[in-house]
Amino acid sequence: MKGMSYQKGSLLPAAIFLLVVMALFSASLLNTSTHSSIATTQEAISLAALNAAESGAQFAMGSLFYLPTTRALTDNRCTALNGLINFTVPGLSVCSSNYSCSASIDAGDTTSYYRITSVGRCAVGQVTGQRTIEVSALIKD
């Protein structure tokens, strides 16, 4: 029986070590899960910002070229084309798009070049996303 008294509590250090290792593993798993959730949210917000930017660019192109027009009228419309869309549709309700148009004319005054820039922004809490789209078009006489 003398040998058993020396072995009392010999598994206690091993049990404590095992508990510490399991606690560290659990903390690491929780941290990874949290980062994965944040990354998924950021990806969704980024995609929504891209969709908002594309929608703003399409709206601006429609505003620029929808009506039958001459090159001079389109030049004037481009200069005045500047706006903000606050979306209310599901999926983009936390997003907005700023759009603008710039025009340039070739040296021979026969072609007008238009560049529409649309910046889509979305935010949910502290997570934000922003994407910029540029679309070009031209009219020749």
Please write the tens of the pLDDT for every residue from 41-97: 888 999 999 999 999 999 999 999 988 778 999 999 999 999 999 999 998 999 999
Are the CB atoms for 53 and 116 separated by under 8 Å?
no
Inside any domain, residue 109: yes
Inside any domain, residue 3: no
CA distance 87 to 107: 40
Provide mean pLDDT across the span 114-140: 94
CA distance 110 to 68: 18
CA distance 103 to 74: 9
In sequence order, what are the residues at sequence separation of 6 or more whose Cβ sits closer than 8 angstroms to the Cβ of residue 27? none
Number of domains in the chain: 1
Inside any domain, residue 2: no
Structural domain containing residue 55: 11-140
Q: Distance between the two ends of the chain, CA-based, in angstroms? A: 109
Structure-token pair, residue 110: 């026969």
Q: How confident is the model at residue 19 (pLDDT cuts 50, 70, 90)?
A: confident
Indicate the residue type of 92. Answer: L
Inside any domain, residue 4: no
CA distance 56 to 121: 11
Q: What is the pTM of this model?
A: 0.73
Name which of 96, 99, 106 is nearest 75 in CA terms.
Answer: 106
